[in-house]
Each structure stands twice: as C-alpha cells, then as structure tokens.
Amino acid sequence: MWARDKISKGEMDQIVDPSLRGKISLDSLKVFVSVVERCLDDKPKKRPAIAHVVINLEFALELQEKAKSSAKTEIVEVLLPQVNAIPLLPNEITNVANATPLPPSDKTQQEKTKSLSPNEITSVADALPYRSRNMLLVIGKQLTRVSLKVQSGTSTLREQINSKMINAGKKDGRKTTVHKLLRLRPWEALRNKAKPSKKKDVVTFSKSAPILRRTGNMTLSGITISTKMMVGNSQLISNTKLRSFHFSELKTATRNFSNDTIMGEGGFGTVYKGWLKEESIGKQESESVVAVKKLNCESMQGFEEWQSEVNFLGRFSHPNLVKLLGYCWEDKELLLVFEFMQKGSLENHLFGRGPVRQPLTWDIRLKILIGAARGLAFLHASDLKVIHRDFKGENILLDGSYHAKISDFGIAKMGPTAGNSHVTTRVMGTYGYAAPEYVATGHLYVKSDVYGFGVVLVEMLTGLRVLDTKRPAGQHNLVDWVKPYLPEMDRLKKVMDSCLEGRYPNRCALQAAQLALNCLEYEPRNRPSMQEIVETLERIDSAVENGRQPRVCFS
C-alpha cells in the first residue's frame, strides 16, 4: 500500500532503492512503475498477462541501456536544443512546426549540427528506443520534412503536419529517422502521428517495429480502408470496405458504455453489447445487435491490437472468422464493431457457472471443433500464412446455432516467407496454449497454432481448464497430467468430461484423443497441418452419423 500511495502521488523516487538512485533512466523507471501499477490492479482481469509483463520489462531494459550511451545522447541534445525549453502539453504536440528552436550557444555545436549528413541523423534516431521514433526531427531552425505527401491542393506546413505524421524510415524497414520528442508519452506521439486530417477524409498511420511495419490510409467517411503492410522490402496492399462509426453512435448504442452491457473484459479493452439503429428502404428504423470492443486508449498495445484487427479481419472473409463490421477512431478513442455472437464464447460453455450454463453435447463439441479448425486452416492457407497466436476457448465465439467463429486477431502475425520455416518475434499469447518452442525460443511456426488447437481439444474432451492450481498436485497443468490417459480407452474414460454422462461414441472419443496427442507433439514438424485436422474431424463426424469407426491418418 505504501508503494502504491507513493506511485499515485508521483513520488517514484521515494520507493527506489537508495543504492540505485541516480543510476536509473527516468524513462526506464516510468515504464517499470507502469508495469507495477498494472500488476497491482485490484481487478484481476485488468492485470496484464505474464507475457506482456516480460515485454514491458524488456522495453524498460532497452531504455536503460540506451540511456547509458552518453555520446549519442549528446548528439540528440545538439539536434534538439529546444526540447527542454518547450513545455509541451499533449494537445500542443502538433504545434512543433511553429516552435523556433533556440540556436546552440556553442559555435562548435552549431557547426556540428549543420554538417550532419542524413545517415548521421538516422544513426541518432537509431539510438532511441524503437517505440519512440515517431515525431519530427528539429535541426537548428530547419524542420526536416521527409516524404510529406498532400492528397490534393496546397496547405501550410502546419496544416500538413497536423493532418499526418510521416514515416521516413530506411527502405529496409528496420529503422526510421523520424522520432518523437522524448518527453511525450508513447500513446500521445502515436496518436498525433496518426491523427485524422481535418481537411481531408484521409488519415495515415505508421509505426516502426523490429519485424513488421504497417502504414495505411483510411477514409473515415467513405468506408474504404487501404492498408499497406511492409515486411523487409516486400509490400502487400489490401483494400477492404468497413463502415466508419462516429463515437457518439457507439456511445448511444451501448447506453453510454453501461456496465450492464459489458460482455467481457481484458487487459487491453472491454467488449460491450450494443444496439444500432438503422433505416431500411421503407424509412422505418430497425435495431441490429452488435458487439463493440472499446480498447484501452492509454495502452500502446491497445493501439497495436486495434490496428491488427483492422488489418486482418478487415481483409478476410470466412464463415468461421468473426465478422468485423467497422471501426471508430476519434481523438483517443479506438473502437471496433463486430457481429454479435448469441451463444458467447466456448470458454463460458465449458467452464461457466450458474444455471444459465448448458453442457455441450458430443455432437455440438465436434461441430465446434470442425468450425474452429476450418477457420485456422483458412488462415494458414492464405497468402499471408496468418498465425493467430492466441487460439483458445475464449477466442472461439458461437452463434445461435453453435457455429464456431475465431475472434481476437490483436496479436495475429504474418507467417514465414518463402524459404523460412518460422518467424522470430517477442513471445505473446496465453500461457498453457502457447507452443513450447515459441515460449522457449520466440520462434513462431504456422504449426504453433496447431499446438493451441490440441490444448483446446483436450479441454473439450475433459471439460477442464488447461491450468488450474486448485486441482491436486501433479494435475495443475492439464496437458502434462492427461497425456498418458489419451492413448487407451480404458484410461481415457477416467478423464472424459462428466457433463457428457457417458453419451459419446467410445471409438470416436479415442480417435479425437489420438488427434490431440498428434497436435501436442513437441516438434512442430511432427504435428499435422490444420487442413489434415479438418479432414480427420470430418471423418470422425461422418463415422458418428454412419455408426462406424473413423480412421486417423496424416501424410
């Protein structure tokens, strides 16, 4: 309580070990304290996953290491002599163009500033944390303008900057010369970089990342989104049509985001049930039910998840992927509008409590598994080889007929390019469902999703959560505990979901268990593809209908 009180009062220095005072970068300390605050949140659902804690601590370490490079810091001070002289507020960031930098008092520094080449400027930006390279570079009295594009007509420099912040990275996509002023919060810089134009209906957003850079143009009133995704030197441009909602519309639809309309909460946002009024051809109003996801506007991860959902779900259409109807981006507000799924998530049906919960029959479980498998198979077979990265029961939604649709593409990733077996990225996802090779090495394979599917399959067979510390010792991790029971029917019966009351075909259950074992193979190459899984489940389903034993075979 003492530490939380000091943090809330802004007295962070009071909680730091005296032996560390003066040795910690202020930026690094702020990130560290932010992690502490979120971990100590009174509401468990608001606390971050351990994977997110790791990522933020790595970021804090990165900031600390950058601060140690005094030589590069001196260059930044020469290039940005006015940074500490301008008390910028969040709504004043876009006025940087009008601020005239004070010239360096030292003539040597002046000459050094003028003589810097573009490559040297780039190296200065490279010295900054990659999340912070997203504002304008002030050199003397000149404002460096790189690749500033105007849709049409003429406008002043200030108007151009207010309408869009430019990405001027190197062609290889690894670094960028554009960075934010160090005193700004990451979200504020990103929001101003990607702020909609008041003059045009076009907004450009871009960000730098180690693996992937995305830039795009959105027509906020004209429904069309044009998204450019860059990986190395390759580009992919996708056009999709999504509706642009006004914040006031969604505020009304969710009854001012009332607690009564909350359907679910997560670390980076809340999902509300909403009722949208629409006019039909006969001029009569009708209401359609939707799900409105309101992302945490103070979180960098919230923006990234919003952007990822638009990039992927705005591009794909498949019966087993949840449909994204539109988006809202006004000031700090980031929202997504999805089709409403009447039966909620698979997780609620498997593990929910209370009289509302209805146990799933064997036939319905098989139907859900086939639908979810088809959705993943579609993603893996696409040109992008999309890897979901967080496949679990919570992200499998069910409509009124128990048709399964995969949701939550906030951390989805494009798969490996030709000639590569995997992509290397920071570990994200949910512990228990994440594949062991990904957790251990950061190497993400298309078949990393297959492991997650195997975990969900085991949960469907047993009706138990993958992780539960309330179970007896040795049974906390479902996969480790249940694996020995899966190959033989006599043992499998001991762990089958009691809610099924024995109403399942023994041979089909055994075949499903054997499929789960194949999905949970330690080596990714030994796991079946999602298409093979679809075909196997369909054979099992067909065998149930025809009353004969299915076969399991993989190429």
345, 390 Cβ separation under 8 angstroms? no
* Tens place of pLDDT per residue across the chain (555 aa): 677 777 777 777 777 787 777 778 887 888 888 888 888 887 776 787 786 787 778 777 877 877 776 444 444 444 444 434 434 444 433 333 344 344 444 454 445 444 444 444 344 334 433 333 333 233 333 333 333 333 344 444 333 333 332 233 333 333 333 333 223 344 444 444 444 433 333 322 333 222 233 333 333 323 334 444 333 332 332 445 789 999 999 999 999 999 999 998 876 789 999 999 876 555 567 789 999 999 887 666 778 888 888 888 888 899 999 999 999 998 889 999 999 999 999 999 999 865 557 889 999 999 999 999 999 999 999 988 999 999 999 999 999 999 999 999 989 999 998 778 889 888 999 999 999 999 999 999 999 999 999 999 999 999 999 999 999 999 999 999 999 999 999 999 999 999 999 999 999 999 999 999 999 999 999 999 999 999 999 999 998 666 655 544 443
Q: How far is CA 8 from CA 11, 428, 555, in A?
A: 8, 29, 59
Within 10 angstroms of residue 199's Cβ, the number of other Cβ atoms is 15
CB crowding 213-250: b at 16 or more within 10 Å, else e? bbbbbbbbeeeebebbbbbeeeeeebebebebbeeebb
Helices (H), 314-431: 346-351, 362-381
Global pTM value:
0.60
What SS3 state is found at 275?
Answer: strand
Virtual CA dihedral for 429, 432, 438, 441, nearest 10 degrees? Answer: 110
Q: Which residues on adjacent β-strands are paired with residue 423?
A: 444
Catalytic positions are 390
User: What one-letter code names the amino acid at 222?
Assistant: G
Which residues touch 526 (CB under 8 Å, ≥6 apart)?
518
Domains and CATH numbers, the chain: 1-68 (no CATH), 70-212 (no CATH), 243-339 (3.30.200.20), 344-546 (1.10.510.10)
- Say which residue the tokens 């899966």 belong to: 486
Q: How far is CA 80 from CA 72, 119, 142, 332, in A?
A: 12, 17, 11, 27
Which residues touch 186 (CB under 8 Å, ≥6 apart)?
131, 132, 180, 300
